[in-house]
Amino acid sequence: MQLSKVTYALVAAGLIGGVATFYHQLDGSPVGAAIAATQPSTLPAVAPSAAANLPDFTALVDRVGPAVVNISVVHGKGKGGLDLEDLDEDSPYYEFFKRFGGVPNGGGMRPQPPAQGMGSGFVVSPDGYIVTNAHVVDGASEVTVKLTDRREFTAKVVGADKRTDIALIKIDAKGLPALDLAAKPAVKRGEWVVAIGSPFGFENSVSAGVVSGLHRALPNGQMVPFIQTDVAVNPGNSGGPLLNAAGQVVGVNAQIYSRSGGYMGLSFAIPAEVAAKVADQLKTHGKVQHGRLGIGIQALDQTLAQSFGLTDANGALVGTVERESPAAKAGFKSGDVIRKIDGAAVTDSTDVTSRIGNTAPGTAIKIEVWRDGKPVELTATVGTLDDGKVAKAGEADEPKGKLGVAVRPLTPDEQKAGGKSGLVVERAGGAAAKAGVQPGDVIVGVGSTKVTTVDELRAQVDKSGKTVALLIERQGRQIYVPVKVG
């Protein structure tokens, strides 16, 4: 059916009338006045009961905002162009320019300005100490701090710790508003949190969200149990505070997960407790000494936990114990499952690396391990971590069990050269291959029991049930690999 010309005219008139009404309301015409008389002049306010259910961070931002600072850094001094030293002494031009005072006008090359960067930070004491990320000030030749009252100061880097990505800087100022980093408030998944910082240089920007997860392990943050949030954090937010609804510092914004370089819904903060310990050491000593036990650990999964007789997968499995290390002196053994540290339950391997790594060397700690089906308490004195020995959570390299492997004992020469014993895997198939065992792996033990002969290996596998926890050594590292043989 086709619409008549009259119908088109009516439709057109209605559309035009609607647009005209909007503008007539603005100019006070009779038509506009008639419409206005039947409609409210302003939108109704949100009901108080509904507004009460929404978070309001205005008071928090007014109180906390002045303690958050913008940090700009300069890396290097730039390059002014081509100099005499840029020419090879064998160059035909070297002697010529040397005689005549160097390369004129920088050799016609445009000078390169020094690299610049930007981040955030927050004041932690009224006398000018400021916490930020280590990566914000790393390699900086000049650090400038801008306060919310527009004052600017040149800052001194007191110290920086790359392992935790925390730095402490100092400006010459007094009576500054400061945040308490030592309050240690509890953090729960789902609670509201606020980030304040300078994303892309927009100073004192506020964003809010909720805590998405706790104890997150990131590849470049082995000593930090990161707080994951969905707060919008972007380049420039680094070093700014993450605050709870009461305005307490719960973390230091540090990283985002992104494929684009911008915010994608995942942001990570360093817990305030870790930042406070590091900042205190930087202020006192100018550097940080991290603790070390001398063990290699890996995460538990349900399969591994069951093979050790555990009803849950909480804890961290000890794969390697270094000789003469604090752990060795305390009596640790391969196959121990760390369940508690100083009475506090261990959730995963990140718990161990962060707690031990952020414990002052020389501190005596009590560690409960699960061994041979029962809890055992050990006392260890924490050592000092150096660059060559990092006790970190291993990533499974995957070995085997019932097994589908052809093995042979280590030769005397191999034992002497490596200072070890066990069975060399020559071929892997079946359950072992599925678990990731490879030719060349050395099977050191099953569970917490060492094996040096084929008969010993067979006996341990036969009584292990449906899952066998093989301890293998590969490229100098020992790890446990669960092999399903049932």
User: pLDDT tens digits for the chain (486 residues)?
Assistant: 444 443 333 334 443 333 332 333 334 444 444 444 555 556 666 555 555 677 889 999 999 999 999 999 987 655 554 454 554 555 554 454 444 444 444 444 445 566 678 899 999 999 999 999 999 998 888 999 999 999 999 999 999 998 899 999 999 999 999 999 888 889 999 999 999 999 988 988 999 999 999 988 886 666 889 999 999 999 899 999 999 999 999 999 998 887 777 788 899 999 999 999 999 999 988 888 888 898 888 888 888 888 888 888 889 898 878 878 899 899 999 889 999 999 889 888 888 888 898 888 889 999 999 998 899 999 999 988 753 333 332 333 333 345 778 787 776 666 766 667 788 887 777 788 888 888 778 888 888 888 888 878 888 887 777 788 888 888 778 888 888 876
Contact 343, 365 (CB under 8 A): no
Question: pLDDT value at position 18?
Answer: 37
pLDDT of residue 323: 79
Task: Check if 238 is active-site.
Answer: yes
pLDDT of residue 10: 35
Q: Domain residues of the chain, as ranges?
A: 5-38, 58-78+113-288, 291-394, 405-484
Q: What is the pLDDT of residue 46?
A: 55
Picking from 209, 270, 197, the residue whose alpha carbon sits closest to that of residue 236 is 197
Catalytic-labelled residue, pool 72, 120, 165, 351: 165
- Specify the CATH number of the domain 291-394: 2.30.42.10
Position 184 scores a pLDDT of: 83
Instruction: Respond yes or no: is residue 72 known to be catalytic.
Output: no
Calpha distance 163→287 (Å, rounded): 11
Architecture of domain 58-78+113-288: Beta Barrel (2.40)
Instruction: Say which of 198, 207, 238, 354 is annotated catalytic.
Output: 238
Nearest 5°: the CA angle 198, 201, 205 is 35
Domains 58-78+113-288 and 405-484 share a fold: no
pLDDT recorded at residue 368: 94
pLDDT for 349 equals 83
CATH match for 405-484 among 2.40.50.100, 3.40.630.30, 3.40.50.620, 2.30.42.10: 2.30.42.10
Verify whether residue 207 is a known catalytic residue. no
Q: What would the 3-class secondary structure string for the chain be?
A: CCCCHHHHHHHHHHHHHHHHHHHHHHHCCHHHHHHHHHCCCCCCCCCHHHHHCCCCCHHHHHHHHHHEEEEEEEECCCECCCCHHHCCCCCHHHHHHHHCCCCHHHHHCCCECCEEEEEEEEEEECCCEEEECHHHHCCCCEEEEECCCCCEEEEEEEEEECCCCEEEEECCCCCCCCCCCCCCCCCCCCCEEEEEECHHHCCCEEEEEEEEEEEECCCCCCCCCEEEECCCCCCCCCCCEEEECCCCEEEEEEEECCCCCCCCCCEEEEEHHHHHHHHHHHHHHCCCCCEECCEEEEECCHHHHHHCCCCCCCCEEEEEECCCCHHHHHCCCCCCEEEEECCEECCCHHHHHHHHHCCCCCCEEEEEEEECCEEEEEEEECEECECCECCCEECCCCCCCCCCEEEEECCHHHHHHHCCCCEEEEEECHHHHHHCCCCCCEEEEECCEECCCHHHHHHHHHCCCCEEEEEEEECCEEEEEEEECC
The active-site residue out of 24, 120, 135, 212 is 135
- pLDDT value, residue 387: 37
